Amino acid sequence: MPAVTALCIYPVKSLKGINVTSAPICETGFIWDRQWMITRPDGRFLTQRQIPKMTLIVTSLPQEALSNEWGQVSPDAALTLNAPGMDPLHVPLKQSAPSEGELKQCTCWEWSGLARDEGEDAAKWLTEFLVKPVRLVRYVGQVSDGTAESNPKRRACEPEFGNGTETMFPDGYPYLLTTESSLKDLNSKVDEPMDMNRFRANIVIDDSVAPWEEDNWQSFTLGGAPDRAVTFHSLKPCSRCKVTTTNQETGAVGKEPLMALGKYRSGKALGWSAMGSWKHEVFFGWNLGADSSGTIAVGDELKVTRTRTAPMTA
């Protein structure tokens, strides 16, 4: 039976992720995943698309923040950023209700709303390393703040596919799943094989499934026992951008895998037409939502409970 081989969270959008052995499921995704993002001074989000050097910044969290006791972290616990030639930056995990002056108008793709500015020390550190004026902001939406659609501190996924699902600062959805078998198939079509980290997945499934079999999974569970299985739904295939062409260890930018994917994983080649733009987009991995709480772990078995009976068409 297919199983989870890797789990990863990315505390700051577009910076290096943290591999974990288990992760609690929260309403907006894995705890801490894309809870922060880097923006221009005017609040517009930035990623490796604009600044490939972002991949050189390493993120780390204290162990208690990565466990089921994450809500009981000590007052001095911090997100730590490290980068070549820089002293570490520490950003406190504990947060009080933000004051009006700490809230900043920000945008992340289609979303425009309020996030907490993490202050001058963080902005100065990131500006110095990235050689570009930037700010660090944090997602502050809470369930008690009203619906994601109505409150400026909360962000809802695309209504066409997300059905009101809330997410923090990933490109669009709470979770991203990929499979090792699909990566192997892609690597057979490029000159230099690439690592899975190019695709910045949260959940990676082993190579016991056929390449691209994940296209057929509409709903599935992950869990080592029925009483702790978590149900996931594949909401939308993940269209890929130039971030995948950035070597995540060096920051060097190339042309693959987009050229290879364009030959057989475009919306046109797959017959996917749910959105007009899909004809010219290329796809690797699936965006997910979860409708149950719990914790998943490396080694958890995947059980498909519902398959997709038709392609992603309008």
Rounded CA separation 128/123 (Å): 8
What's the confidence (pLDDT) of residue 165?
Answer: 87
Closest CA to 151 of 159, 161, 140, 162: 140
Q: Report which secondary-structure segment, H or E, holds 270.
A: helix 267-270
Rounded CA separation 297/294 (Å): 10
Kindly report, residue by residue over 201-241, the tens digit of the pLDDT. Answer: 999 999 999 999 999 999 999 986 666 789 999 999 999 99
**pTM, rounded to two decimals:** 0.95
Rounded CA separation 6/4 (Å): 6
Q: Residue 156's beta-bridge partner residues?
A: 166
What's the confidence (pLDDT) of residue 99?
Answer: 76
Residues of the chain predicted below pLDDT 50: none
Residue in this structure with the two tokens 């409970």, named with its chain if needed: 305
